[in-house]
Structure 1
Amino acid sequence: MADPVTRPLSEADKEMIFRKATSGFPLRFKEEIENGMSDADLKTALESVLGIFGGSGGPDQPSIAFAGTGLRIWGSWKTVNSVRDKPLFAGKRTIAMARQIYAIADPDDAQMRLY
């Protein structure tokens, strides 16, 4: 197995980082998630959950940093530098990932759901 410090992030790693950064979201906004959220509502909710700035890390865990401003989430097997490193998720990409992971419908989307 590759050394975690030099190993690139897999898609599973990125999803895990996203879930950890937004871990309070599914419980705090359970009803809104079930009823669907507009992009504006989802943006406000994610800003609230991500807060001003936070992060986590530890042995055998990726380094994670996040900020509500810009809906930015960083992650790496090395220590994250939120000034120098490009976020894994930011803005509309964070909203899209939240919709995908937490199965959030958009009530403003006129397209019928296929399933």
Structure 2
Amino acid sequence: MIHNLNHLELRTGFTQYDLVGMAALLKLCPNLETKMLDYLFKIEEDETLSEGLSSKPVELSMPSLKQVSVTSYTGTEDEVNFMKILSTQGVALEKIILVRGHVGAKSRVQMVLYRNAY
């Protein structure tokens, strides 16, 4: 267990493969309060999960979590599914910050979702 960790920054994707690893890590961090996710653009496909793991729902255990920030948010299906997991599992969040990725010289747009808004 990593009891002293209260802020975590991860560079990861949001596929089922990524979420299984994220769930395993979060179970070791019961006092995590903030999590920043920087999307990892992958060149290769994920390895195939076993049927037992790929059919099992991902449970994100984060009892102390107050804030999640996602940088370079583009609204992909995997990102939207991750946001649904956060809201449907009743994760104890105060807010989610989505920083929209940008194309070219356009500026980044930040969206903040507060607990009573989702």
Flag the structure with more relative contact order, 1 or 2, with Cα contacts below 8 A and sequence separation at least 6. Answer: 1
Query: Greater strand percent: which structure?
Result: 2
TM-score w.r.t. length of structure 1: 0.30
Normalised TM-score (structure 2): 0.30
Q: Which has the higher helix share?
A: 1
